[in-house]
């Protein structure tokens, strides 16, 4: 019952409360960000997608912590969720600075990611960890593509995305070290296709 209440609390806080970061938002010293209207819109769309990714990360790790029976692994997922809260807070703050809103479909994205986390967890700890590895590797590549797309002068967004990319790849390595199995290629392809749908829709809605 406590685990279910914690999961519900995490969902409510992710979707409806203002997130608070434990670590300061990354910045590029002495590089002020000045964008025109077109650049601001482009940055806002990309940061909205990144914010959706962090909403999904909260759901994924919360579900995996709920399903595992291994206390050490539960602590691993819980810690990763806490670290991802920094990313959630940073992207939310950046959207505010750009006078942009988060995705209107965040409850849907959260529910979908939570369901995937439950499924992965039910298939066993090694599968669950393998899901983390593949997710974080794909997210890392996605964030790198955003660094290529963000306006060159958007130093604030670029600093956030760069730190997020490094953190996601660190999470992937940690999951590998914890005993993750490699997922079959068709599963990886399906994950990539689902992520493509999400990022395309979230770019606009």
Domains of the chain and CATH, by start? 36-202 (1.20.1260.10)
Task: List C-alpha distances in Å: 111 to 89, 108, 169.
Answer: 20, 5, 24
pLDDT at 86 over 70: yes
pLDDT for res 27: 83
Nearest to 22 by CA among 83, 78, 80: 83
User: H or E element: which one contains 146?
Assistant: helix 125-149
Which has more confidence, 54 or 7?
A: 54
What's the predicted TM-score (pTM) here?
Answer: 0.91
Query: Alpha-carbon Rg of the chain, whole angstroms?
Result: 16
Rounded Cα distance between 38 and 152, Å, is 13
Task: List C-alpha distances in Å: 149 to 22, 75, 198.
Answer: 28, 36, 18
pLDDT at 1 over 70: no
């Amino acid at each position: 019952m406590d685990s279910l209440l914690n999961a519900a609390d995490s969902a409510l806080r992710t979707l409806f409360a203002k997130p608070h970061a434990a670590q300061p938002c990354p910045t590029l010293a002495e590089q002020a960000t000045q964008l025109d209207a077109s650049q601001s819109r482009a940055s806002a769309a990309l940061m909205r997608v990144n914010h959706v990714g962090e909403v999904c990360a909260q759901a994924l790790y919360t579900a995996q912590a709920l399903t595992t029976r291994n206390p050490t692994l539960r602590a691993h997922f819980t810690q990763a969720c806490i670290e991802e809260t920094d990313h959630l807070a940073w992207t939310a703050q950046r959207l505010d600075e750009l006078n942009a809103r988060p995705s209107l479909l965040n409850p849907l994205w959260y529910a979908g990611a939570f369901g995937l986390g439950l499924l992965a967890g039910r298939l066993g700890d090694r599968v669950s960890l393998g899901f983390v590895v593949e997710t974080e590797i794909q997210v890392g590549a996605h964030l790198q593509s955003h660094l290529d797309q963000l306006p060159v002068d958007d130093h604030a967004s670029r600093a956030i995305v760069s730190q997020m990319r490094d953190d996601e790849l660190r999470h992937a390595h940690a999951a590998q070290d914890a005993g993750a199995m490699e997922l079959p290629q068709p599963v990886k392809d399906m994950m990539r296709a689902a992520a493509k749908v999400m990022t395309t829709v979230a770019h606009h809605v």
